[in-house]
Structure 1
Amino acid sequence: MSFPWLGGDRFEQELLAEFATHNVAYLARQKERLKPFFDTVEKNPLTDDQMDGCICMDDAVQIVAAAGSGKTSTMVARVGYALHEGLVKPEQILVLAFNRAVAEELQSRINARLAGFAGIDAVTVKTFNAFGLGVIGKATGRKPSLAEWAEPGRDGAMIVEIIDDMRSSDDKFRHDWDLFRTVFGRDIGSWNEPAQANAYRDGRRGILTANGEIVKSEEERMIADWLFYHGVHYQYERPYEHDTATEHHRQYRPDFFYPEIDLYHEHFALNEKGQAPAHFGGDYLDGVRWKRELHAEKGTRLFETTSYEIRNADGFANLAAELKRSGILLQYGPDRQTKGQRPVTTEQLAATIRIFQQHVKSNGLSHQQLREAAAKDTRGHADRLTRFLALFERIADEWERRLREADCIDFDDMLLMAIDHIESGRFASPYMMVLADEFQDTSRAKVRLLKALLTNAGEEAHLCVVGDDWQGINRFAGADISVMTEFEKVFDNSTRLMLSTTFRCPAQLCEASSAFVQANPRQIRKTVETTNSYTKKSLHAFAAETQSLALARLEQDLQSMYDFARSGRLNTDSGDRISVMMLGRYNNDEPRGWQRWKRRFGDLLSIEYRTVHSSKGLEADYVMLLNVVEGMMGFPSQITDDPILQIAMPEPDPYPLAEERRLFYVALTRARRQVRIYTLFDSPSRFLIELARTGAVEIETEEGVLSPCPKCGCGTMRRYDGQYGPFEACSTHPRCDFKRNLSVESPRVAAPSNRVRIAHPMSAGDSCPTCGDGLMVVRSGGAYQPFLACSGYPSCKTTAALDGGTEGGATRARTLPG
């Protein structure tokens, strides 16, 4: 709020200070005078924060409500307060909700709790969509026809149908769609971001390709997948044909080798200026020069690509030209059977297209505006954006053609039509008090509608929005979190209030979840307090070797809870059954046959399964969070939170996986007592490692505790017995080279016996001279004296004498039998 007519900042500040003092005194008087009302309007007396949310009638009020803080009670009480004080009549109140279920709950609560007010049933409670249809009907005398296939839940199927029809009738579209899906379908991050491993195989951790190799970067994965789907025979990191191993360096392994044409291919992580990412270290460019000079000296053929080329269209064109020139026939086949990472499906990519389309229509963006936004994108993968937009434009145009052909509109069109009728005055708004629930799930178009209602109704109209930006998880439905976080920029003369006391989560969960979600600096800062007196440890995590063992541990935990409940040591205050909510990121995370647990434990435990999205607004005594692993379809999902959506948003959130972080926060805050997280030993989620790194949780295993790497924070520490004693190394090696020596008495870091971690030369051991991936570590047993063996056993069975003796400069090595 500003007052330029006052003539200076000093007077303005004094006036604002006087307003603040007056408001504080007014709030105190109102709370005292209306205490009987605030104590009885809802089932429990309102808190101070809730009363503030009822009394404040500034032009635009934003109530930021923590999870479990009683926002619905506040909305009901605000309606009651306005009626009690005679500020508005029931027919002048409009309450807008995100979905039908919430609207029905609000209507029911208002009618029940405020039944004593005459005409209470005249309060209008609707979803945005239902309200928009009503506006059009009143303004024109005729409601428009909405395409049934455009309804939420059915719209994705129409996108798939459009794609299938166009693939059948247009060879170029089919090729472009399938190539994007198989090679470009996954975001690869920014050039200067460290790669996030998503797989572990044969002693290697990295990125899984379609052909089943583990490669070091997403760019290498793209190249490998492009080669695979074009039918090109290649070998990844095959040892160079000339011996280059020295005492300090392993044998040189070029990135790709094409045996049919005797061609080596190195992919260098260089930008357009020939610079390497800062986290690569200063010796990377020396390595590039060494490789070039080596090939020139030995007379071997070398082809190069760079990050800049691969990300900006020239790289794959140059690769195709070189292979064709050398006699390789390129035969693209999108249906080739993969040995490793499966491609993004048409259904998955269609879902991204539909989300993108909703944001485009809500924000009124043209194809040209999207191209301009893509040109300004700073993530540095212009080729992917260009290919995506070309596909999107074809699909979006066909969507609009089908709407015209059916003489129908979709929900985005309907909302824009309603806005036009309100802004033009063809609809006269009777509403002097407008409330909007779940405001974090609001789109830019819905904000325009709210603004239009205020302007239409006149200066006396008030707006109050309630929501929690920490729980903004509906970008797939067109939501734009920035309307919540930038509320003061969207609405003039706005006021922000907080509901910061939760009635649900115990203190440890409040602290851990709040710190986790606020790692994104764009989230609204707040400190959450709790009335929950639960003081036991409320956050647990367990890492198993396999998915079946993780489910076995889950069943074991349920059995323990059941036994405690049967003995009377575990119960609820109400005397009801203990509620247990199993949560998964996806529908297919649902454990097979889990209904047997309902039958087995159902007399004392109330067990259900939900996706995290469907759990919002719900709670349980115990939450079991399943399959919290790293990977494309893990948690975080690396498909649904695609950064490509950002170019359709006026205020993009550049923080990595921001929506997935908020979704994880929602999962953590469903519990009244405990959250138990289940993961896999080889691929714990980066979110779980982050919680462990901050001390919020310990990742337990059958044999110990996994400790996060203190250097990179992405991997976990693994113990090895080296020639000079025990040591620990980061599981992401060679991406992270952190190591530290341990005392002999140090506890062994959990590591299943058949899951030896990869580690390269460190002070405690030498690099394996055979595979180059493992580390020579001390082994003993049977008839053998202590000896050195590759840490990659059993994939690599190389051993060496403990004294490290050499013959002609080479390590004396033998191969283990079997």
Structure 2
Amino acid sequence: MSSENSVSFIPHSWFGHLYQRDVNAIKLTQEGITFIPGHGQFLARFRHNNKQLIIGQLSWQQLDHPPLFSASLLGNLLSFNAAGTHYQIPFLSYFAKSHFKQQVELLWALSHQKSLCDLILRVEKATSSRYLRQSLVDKMRARIEREYFRWFPWSEGAELPANIRTALTQLHDFYHWNKADIERLRESYIQSQLLAFAGFFDHVESNPLTNKQRRACIIDDDSNLLLAGAGTGKTSVMVGRAGYLVNSGQAQANDILLLAYGKKAAMEMDLRIKHKLGSDDIKASTFHSLGLKIIADVEGVKPSLSAWVNDEPAKDKWVHDRLEVLIKNESYRKQLFDYFSRYYYVEKSPFEFSTQGEYFEYLNDNDIRSLKGERVKSFGELHIANWLFTNGIEYQYEAKYEFDVSTVDFRQYQADFYLPEYEVYIEYYGIDEANNTVPFIDQAAYLTSMEWKRQLHHQRQTNCIELFYYQHKKSQLINKLEQALTVFKVNYSPLPDEAILATLYELGRVTELAKLFSQLIGLYKAACIDEAGLEKVFANATQTRKAFELLQPILQQYQQYLSAHGDIDFEDMIAKALAYLQSGQYVSPWQYIMVDEFQDISEPRARLVRALRDSRTKKGNSDTSLFCVGDDWQAIYRFSGADVRLTTQFKRYFGHASETYLDLTFRFNNRIGEVASAFVSKNPHQLNKDIHSLVQVAKPAVSILRRGTNEGATKDEPSNNALEQVLNALSVRVTQAVDKLKAKPTVYLLARFWFQLPDKDMLRQLTAKYPMFVIECLSFHASKGKEADYVVIMGMTQGIHGFPSKKITPPLLDAFLPKAENFEFAEERRLFYVALTRAKHRVYVIADMTNVSPFIVELIQQDYAVEQQEFSTSLVQSLFEQINCVRCTTGILKPRVGKFTSFFSCSHFPLCDHKEAGCDECGSPMTRKRFVGFKVCLNDSCAHMAPICNVCGSEMSLRESARGAFWGCKNYRGNNVPSCSNTINTAKISPQQVQ
């Protein structure tokens, strides 16, 4: 077979000669294999689906593998596959295999060597000329696998030319690639690009890009997630990557789509690219402008945008107006009243709380009030009050009992409700059917108090209706109330709708609901939920269903309004653009999609991004790369639909992805970083990151000023204003470092809510008083993406406007927001991280420890590297944890001044009305946490002690008798019930310190 025209023949076996006149059965040539027909009854045949057909010639290219010889008694059988068909030629010479096997394999190999070598060359080029994307790896694996099984295992024993043998060795290596081999090839490419574009990366930004920034620019998998910590230079990577793609010839400017979160961010990115790359060709786009472009390209005309797109207040007003029109409808109005009366608040049982203070915090933080505006102490009382109000029954909440039963140590008895027209009291008792109280209430004392009230009403012949928690739990409370009122012939006179409406308007409920509905319209439309989906939302959620029933007619009118005016809104922009992509009516022209601030993305926008990436694949183009930059530690926009899981579970949503990290921050020093990182990383559902700081300092750089709002100036602290106290200290620092400063240092005043910050007039005064600073006020949210030399954090309190906010998200709103994380205050914790990491040099935190945020307590008590000694502080502020309220346990005793004396009362007042006197000797607060069974003055120079009653837990007072001085319980009431007559002999006092 040395000559191109050489020909070989494979003869028949003796059995084949019985049927064949021709001696030979098969002709082998360079071009292929030919079946020679005979003239007798038997012809050269092949088997296909058990049918015998006459065949002529097949080229070697048509054969999937070299033909295979198999011996039998009647001669050799030749088998092979071609174009999906299996062929068998029987009755060949008994020596066919030994004489022709090698020749057949060589002829097949020579015919297929070009495709083998071409594959090897393509693989080598792909692995050296570009980053090895996973999609390409998968395609190559499939092609390599097909080629591998065409050549192996038969080629291992075949005599083949050296060039084919070399190619097969490479094919064998390709086939056995493992993960480490792929990573080695990728790393080799990265290193080559780092070397080739070192000059570009050195000069694209003011400072040379770090190695990790450069790698992030080069790595180019199908989907890429760059996790960039605060101040680590993510924008530099966005600019650098865009420039690298163009400079390396991988993309033209119009191949790149750069998506920014908002219009302002897009403009800033455009300016940055123009300045750094010297080009106007690469433009950043918002998601909404992208949606408009897609719609316009498909429909041939740019859609008309609703005026509400850029005028949220106008939209809010329209919704409010529609709500007011609907209220005129009697049926809708009744639904509205029912909602406000029974479903407005998110009810939680007191049995869900471990302390009374936590329960009071919930009631206070969510501002639980009746329709008359009273702050009630339970949801049972709320329902009673609302029912009495709407039925026109005059009542007084916690009215003083008509007979004076107060004593020196006990205030006047107040029933929960009093109906003055009928002289009927109503008591709502928080017990279940087994007389059990909530865990944080002394059951015996509570039941004793109930009995005392019963006896009091019996003795004074006053009427009292008793209602119970278990009735409320079983939805029997109002029925029981109605039944009880019939006994006293109470007449119902339901308030006119106008009166109820007036009250709702006065409380701001209608305006608040309209604002909620305005926000919900966008969230609902973006969610794209069908009827079945809605039913899932409403399952076991009556409150949500009732609210949605009120929203639904407004939703319908909203969409009708848009349609009538030929307008679309933001949600339509995304939804229509997504529909055109998914239907194939629009195919993305971009090879490289880059998304900034990815942690702020919502699921509809993520769906749009994924559809952009996949639309080219559907049309046969598989070269689209998605590059997302974000930081789950700075995900703070769930309230607008952002879903942090799209970042933390990126691969689950977008498939295989390469993840890279920027862990060197150029903004804040290591001591700020230590506090901020330790604080935010408490959440185990977030991604682990180890952020390092370029700037290293030795001393703590987060300083806490503990100061109450009513504390006066002192010799050490001449200002009674905490903010000025901080700015005074900061001015000293700046003066000492004046030689190092090239410009006025910037100072951000930050708070959770804008109203907690100085107003414009106060800011002007501060600027005038401290001209060495550039002072700016920002909310925590508004500060994201910004930085200052120094940061002062304010508003670190508890309560309805506290931080972290404990206010429950309305269930209807929550139903259409991304699923909340299973970690307490997850987003609020990240928000505090954002605030801390705005500062370059130092953070000051102002905190009143008598009403302080639990975040500050954590910083102080859990060994964070914070500075607590920079400022002097009062006794109450420094020892706050020792003066918890004994009744609710979570409140802090705050100093108050009454008409005649000073005292300490619970920070949860008025829900918790506990108060107590200060030290009898010096007036300082006292604590029960230092000695068992005793209160001790926190003023160490005084250290006065007083025993606590070991029977009822009340304070004891020193009294005189004929036998001398003794300690008597302040709950002593003589013959009245309840009363505690416990006494302690002064000689027997022996305090033991708490371990």
- Say whether the fold is shared (TM-score over 0.5): yes
The whole-number CA distance in structure 1 between the counterparts of 2:893 and 2:235 is 48
The letter for the 2-side match of 1:633 is: H
Separation of aligned partners in 2, 1:171 and 1:684:
47
- Counterpart residue number, 2:67: none
Q: State the secondary structure of the residue aligned to 1:435.
A: strand
CA 136–187 in structure 1, closer or farther in 2 if over 3 Å, else same:
same
Paired residues of 1:509 and 1:668 also in contact (CA < 8 A): yes
CA distance in 2, matches of 1:806, 1:284: 20
For the residue of structure 1 that corresponds to 2:802, the secondary structure is: coil
Alignment of 1:552-563 (within 5 A): 552-563=721-732
- Specify whether residues 168 and 533 from structure 1 end up closer, same or farther in structure 2 by C-alpha distance, changes over 3 A only: same
Q: 1:54 to 1:476 in 2, by over 3 A?
A: same
Pick one of 778, 786, 809 that aligns with 1:618: 786
SS of structure 2 residue aligned to 1:361: helix
Q: What's the counterpart of residue 771 of structure 1?
A: none
1:51 equivalent in structure 2: 214
User: 1:384 matched to which residue of 2?
Assistant: 543
Q: 1:576 aligns with which of 740, 743, 759?
A: 743
Q: What is the CA–CA distance in structure 2 between the aligned matches of 1:57 and 1:472, rounded to whole Å? A: 25
Counterparts of 1:493 and 1:196 in 2: how far apart (Å)? 48
1: distance between equivalents of 2:517 and 2:856? Answer: 30
Once the two structures are superposed, residues 283-329 of structure 1 have per-residue CA deviations (whole angstroms, 9 ceiling, x without a partner) of 7599679969996999875543547946x976567656765785454
Contact 1:160 1:347 in 2 (8 A): no
SS in 1 for 2:613: helix
Provide structure 2 residue ranges, at least 5 long, that are not aligned to the other structure.
1-133, 146-173, 714-718, 896-903, 915-926, 941-945, 983-995
Quote how far apart the aligned CAs of 1:391 are: 2.0
Aligned to 1:91: 254
Structure 1 unaligned regions, length at least 5: 377-381, 721-727, 751-759, 769-774, 781-785, 789-799, 814-818
Deviations along 1:10-49, one digit per CA (max 9) or x if unpaired, are x999823433444445445543554333222211222333
Farther-moved stretch of structure 1 (177-186 vs 139-148): 177-186
Shift of 1:617: 0.7
Contact 1:62 1:497 in 2 (8 A): yes
- 2:638 corresponds in structure 1 to 475
1:702 to 866, 869, 874: 874
Q: Deviations over 1:224-256 (max 9, x none)?
A: 5666677651444978999999x9x99998755
Which of 811, 833, 839 lines up with 1:665 in the alignment?
A: 833
Of 708, 724, 748, the match for 2:938: 748
1:582 Cα deviation from its structure 2 partner: 1.2
Residue 67 of structure 1: aligned partner: 230
**Equivalent in the alignment of 2:703:** 539
Q: TM-score, normalised by structure 2?
A: 0.64
Looking at structure 1, the residues matched to 641 and 427 of structure 2 have their Cα atoms a distance apart, in angstroms, of 43
From 540, 555, 559, the equivalent of 1:396 is 555
The answer for the alignment partner of 2:522 in structure 1 is 358
Match of 2:755 in 1: 588
Distance 1:73 1:561 in 2: 31
SS in 1 for 2:721: helix
Task: Give yes or no for the alignment of 1:370 onto 2:537.
Answer: no
Query: Which of 846, 856, 872 in structure 2 is aligned with 1:688?
Result: 856
How far the C-alpha of 1:620 sits from its partner, in A, is 1.2
Q: Closer, same or farther in 2 for the Cα pair 1:193/1:631, shift >3 Å? A: same
The alpha-carbon distance between structure 1 residues 406 and 58, as it changes in their structure 2 partners (threshold 3 A), is same
C-alpha displacement of 1:417: 0.7
Alignment of 1:448 with 2:612, yes or no, is: no
Provide the residue aligned with 2:325 in structure 1: 166
State the Cα deviation string for residues 104-129 of structure 1 (Å, max 9, x = none). 111111122122xxxx4332311110
Q: Of residues 798, 807, 819 in structure 2, which corresponds to 1:630?
A: 798
User: For the structure 1 residues 219 and 663, does the alpha-carbon distance in structure 2 shift closer, same or farther, using more than 3 Å as the test?
Assistant: farther
- Which has the higher mean CA deviation after the structures are superposed, 389-398 or 59-68? 389-398
Per-residue deviation, 1:165:
3.1
> Contact 1:27/1:52 (CA < 8 Å) preserved in 2?
yes
Q: Which amino acid aligns with 2:860?
A: A
Of 524, 528, 536 in structure 1, the residue corresponding to residue 691 of structure 2 is 528
Q: CA deviation at 1:180?
A: 4.6
1:775-790 to 2 correspondences below 5 Å: 775-776=955-956
The answer to whether the 8 Å contact 1:440/1:471 transfers is yes
When residues 740 and 101 of structure 1 are mapped into structure 2, their CA distance, relative to the original with a 3 A threshold, is same
Alpha-carbon separation, structure 2, partners of 1:165 and 1:807: 59
Residue 154 of structure 1 aligns to a residue in which SS?
helix
What residue is the counterpart of 1:407 in the other structure?
566
Counterpart-to-counterpart distance in 1, 2:794 and 2:530: 41
Would the alpha carbon gap of residues 153 and 506 (structure 1) be closer, same or farther in structure 2, given more than 3 Å must change?
Answer: farther
SS in 2 for 1:122: coil
Q: How many angstroms apart in 1 are the aligned matches of 2:638 and 2:743?
A: 36
Shift of 1:802: 8.5
Residues 706 and 873 in structure 2, CA contact (< 8 A), matched pair in contact too = yes
| CA separation of 1:144 and 1:264: change in aligned 2, threshold 3 A | same
Query: Structure 1 345/302 Cα, relative in aligned 2: closer, same or farther at 3 Å?
Result: closer
2-structure distance, mates of 1:556, 1:198: 35
> Match for 2:703: what amino acid?
L
User: Is residue 295–residue 302 contact of structure 1 (8 Å, CA) maintained in 2?
Assistant: no
SS in 1 for 2:778: strand
Amino acid at match of 1:665: Y
Tell me by how many angstroms 1:141 deviates: 0.9
The answer as to 2:283 corresponding to 1:124 is yes
What letter is aligned with 1:438? Answer: E
Q: Secondary structure at the match of 1:62?
A: strand
Instruction: Compute the displacement of 1:169 (Å).
Output: 2.6
Measure, in 2, the Cα distance between the counterparts of 1:225 and 1:679: 38
Given that 1:616 and 1:666 are in contact with CA atoms closer than 8 Å, whether structure 2 keeps it comes out as yes
- Specify whether residues 642 and 778 from structure 1 end up closer, same or farther in structure 2 by C-alpha distance, changes over 3 A only: farther
**Cα pair 2:701 2:843 within 8 Å, conserved:** no
The one-letter code matched in structure 1 to 2:534 is L
Q: 1:557 deviation in Å?
A: 2.2
Shift in CA distance, 808/599, structure 1 to aligned 2, threshold 3 Å: closer
State the partner residue of 1:715: 890
Give a deviation string over 1:627-667, Cα, whole Å, max 9, x none. Answer: 22222233334558545433224644344444333323222
CA distance change for structure 1 residues 540 and 163 in 2, over 3 Å: closer, same or farther?
Answer: farther
The CA distance in 2 between the partners of 1:406 and 1:29, in whole Å, is 57
The structure that has the greater radius of gyration is: 2
Cα shift readout 1:380-433 (whole Å, capped 9, x = no counterpart): xx4432332222223322222222232211110111111112222222321000
Deviation at 1:94, TM superposition (A): 0.3
Deviations 1:172-231 (A, max 9, x none): 44454466568754545576245766989xxx9997746787755566566656666776
Percent of matched pairs sharing the same residue: 26
Matches within 5 A, 1:643-682: 644-649=812-817, 651-682=819-850
Question: TM-score when scaled to structure 1?
Answer: 0.77
Query: Contact between 1:63 and 1:498, CA under 8 Å: does it hold in 2?
Result: yes
Structure 1 contact 156–350 (Cα < 8 Å) conserved: no
2:849 and 2:348 map into 1 onto residues whose CA distance is 25
Q: Is the CA contact (8 Å cut-off) linking 1:435 and 1:464 kept in structure 2?
A: yes
Aligned residue type for 1:266? Y
| 2:96 aligned residue | none
Partners of 2:475 and 2:560 lie apart in 1 by: 31
Q: Could you tell me whether the CA contact under 8 Å between 1:186 and 1:639 is conserved in 2?
A: no
Counterpart for residue 461 of structure 1: 624
Of 406, 422, 429, the match for 2:588 = 429
| Aligned counterparts, 1:247-262, within 5 A | 260=422, 262=424
Determine the structure 2 residue equivalent to 1:438: 597
- Give the structure, 1 or 2, with the largest relative contact order (CA under 8 Å, sep 6 or more): 1
526-535 vs 301-310, which moves further:
301-310
Q: 1:182·1:344 contact (CA, 8 Å) conserved in 2?
A: no
